Chain A
Amino acid sequence: MNVFDWIVQLVGIALAVAAAPVLVGWVNQCRAWLQNKSAPSILLPYRGIRKLFHKDAVIAENASRLFRLAPYVVFGTMLTAAAVIPSIATRLPFTQAADAIALVGLLATARVFLSLAAMDVGTAFGTLGARREMMIGFLAEPALLVVIFVVSLTCATTALPVIAERLSAQSFTLNPSLAFTAVAFTMVLLAENARIPVDNPATHLELTMVHEALLLEYSARHLALMEWAAALKLFNYACIGVAVFVPWGIATSHAPWSLAVSIVLLSVKLLCAGAGLALIETLSAKLRVFRAPEFLATAFLFAVLGLLVRLLLGD
């Protein structure tokens, strides 16, 4: 590990943190275009975060220390996850520190703190949101794990950077098991990031909100951190998807040229992913909360089918 590796790693993290709100802005912009609305600026999430940082925080009287701590923990875990995921290069110090299963655990930590903080103040909406979040989480996690198992079986490792390297070295083949897991992963991404079939990120409608209900008691810098963390979560999930399912072009060495190509390719892939996400959100209607388990069971089914087909048909 030389100094240059660490510099690339830090640049990668900084890029993730900086690009996450832009990705959210891009998705919102695409969605507005698709719905024939005039689109907000792509930098709108940034402006929102800056505005929130300039405000004074109001905290409920009976909030415990956990409530104040949670935004930093959630943001911190998302930051760590961003460091672990091989987004621009595979041979980085942090990406080799944790494998995909540890990454799922990291994301679960964030969810636990988010839900605990929402229940901490004791308002009805916070508790409701926390319960729904945990329900979605506990159904989405097995699906995500099975997705990871399928990919691990294909590459004989659970380390994400090695998976990305092996898959990008392989020539293109029609692989039904990877296709199924890609669908499963997309469904998990939608559910975990509070996207439309499961939750609507654009409204505060009491009966249906999940993610917004969790953040209802937060204000100012805490809210800013939470929103930033949510953007980072979307970015992380998109990067996992890119690393596993379309890894072509990721930098396996640290030549400046390949890094530059990798960054450009990653941005193109993320732009496509964002547009696709906006398309999915526009085309689908929000499910009733009680239909969410069915949605996630389908995701699990896709992942398990991927696993079984992979075991039966081989490569």
Chain B
Amino acid sequence: MKALPWDLQLLNTLAALLLLLSFAMLSQRRIVSLVNLLAMQGALLCIATLLLAWRTGSHHLYVSAALTLGLKVIFLPWLLHRLIRRLGVYWDTEPLLNIAGTMMVGVLVVIFAFGLAQPISALASTATRNSIGIAVAVILIAFLTMITRRKAMSQVVGFLSMENGLFFGAMSATYGMPMVVELGVALDVLVAMLVLGVFFFQIREQFDSLDLKHFESLKEEQ
């Protein structure tokens, strides 16, 4: 068999690790570890972006790598850790489905995602087109993470992980989005995070808990 060039091998490995981290997040019970995993995912994404920037020689990818590092590896995890400390929520409740079951659903989701991405990869012309399937899988698993959690905090982490997946998908399909779009998305995530941070306090003040199942009984309490 023909061996791939080493940088592509490394990129594929990073993609696989990204998928692995998504599964780790899916199975994680503690919010603190969930945030750490998110930071690790951001770090992997940053390395992958740097590698791709070096490989393709496109300068705007360096900027987005720096953006990833600053926002997703340092700032957002710091913000989340601070929120966790101030809200005193260290544990999520058990996920809605048991862990082993969730993981098996996750495997099915990955199979679905790989099937979904096959035609897209066939059309793409980038060297990293094979990773598109992994990006879609990361997005869907993040979605699954959000679905199986009850606490607002872990849902937000799932949301951020989904954004990571989207970023990686854009990267492997077209070597990154245009700079303007990327900056816009980064700003969006930042603002969403800040607003949600304020929301957490409001939710807790209203319901004495961050459990989103209280939202369901909103109408009856009037």
Contact = CB atoms under 8 A, between A and B. Distances in A.
Interface in B61-98: none
Contact of B114 (A173, A312, A315): A312
B12 A294 contact: no
Contacts, number: 63
Contact of A312 (B6, B10, B133): B133
Nearest to B121: A312
Interface string B7-48: 001101101110110010001000000000000000000000
Contact of B103 (A171, A301, A309, A314): A301
Contact of B17 (A176, A304, A312, A315): A176
A308 interface: yes
A174 B10 contact: yes
Nearest to B99: A294
Given A309-B19, A312-B114, A313-B131, A298 B103 contact: yes
B107 A309 contact: no
A297 B100 contact: yes
B160 interface: no
Contacts of B107: 301, 304-305, 308
Contacts of B103: 297-298, 301
Nearest to B20: A305
Contacts of A309: 16, 19, 134
Contacts of B2: 315
Nearest to B3: A173
A313 B130 contact: yes
B134 A171 contact: no
Contact of B12 (A174, A298, A311): A174
Interface in A257-315: 293-294, 297-298, 301, 304-305, 308-309, 311-315
A179 interface: yes
Interface residues of A, number: 23
A176 B12 CA distance: 7
B194 interface: no
A313 B131 CA distance: 7
Interface in B141-184: none
Interface residues of B, number: 29
B16 A180 contact: yes
B131 A308 contact: no
Nearest to B104: A297
A313 B15 CA distance: 10
B4 A312 contact: no
A90 interface: no
A158 interface: no
A265 B93 CA distance: 49
A173 B9 contact: yes
A236 interface: no
Contact of B16 (A171, A313, A315): A313
A171 B12 CA distance: 17
Contacts of A311: 114
Nearest to A139: B100
Contacts of A308: 107, 110-111, 114
B1 interface: yes
A180 B20 contact: yes
Contacts of B13: 174, 176, 179
Nearest to A306: B16
Contacts of B104: 297
B131 to A, nearest CB: 7
A9 interface: no
B134 A312 contact: yes
A173 B6 CA distance: 8
A95 interface: no
Contacts of B134: 309, 312
Interface in B99-150: 99-100, 103-104, 106-107, 110-111, 114, 130-131, 133-134
Given A309-B16, A309-B134, 13 more contacts: A170-B1, A174-B6, A176-B12, A176-B15, A176-B17, A179-B16, A293-B100, A297-B100, A301-B103, A304-B107, A305-B23, A308-B110, A308-B114
Interface of B: 1-4, 6, 9-10, 12-13, 15-17, 19-20, 23, 27, 99-100, 103-104, 106-107, 110-111, 114, 130-131, 133-134
Interface of A: 170-171, 173-177, 179-180, 293-294, 297-298, 301, 304-305, 308-309, 311-315
20 contacts: A173-B3, A173-B9, A174-B10, A174-B12, A175-B9, A176-B16, A179-B16, A180-B20, A297-B100, A298-B27, A305-B16, A305-B110, A308-B111, A308-B114, A309-B16, A311-B114, A313-B15, A313-B16, A315-B1, A315-B4
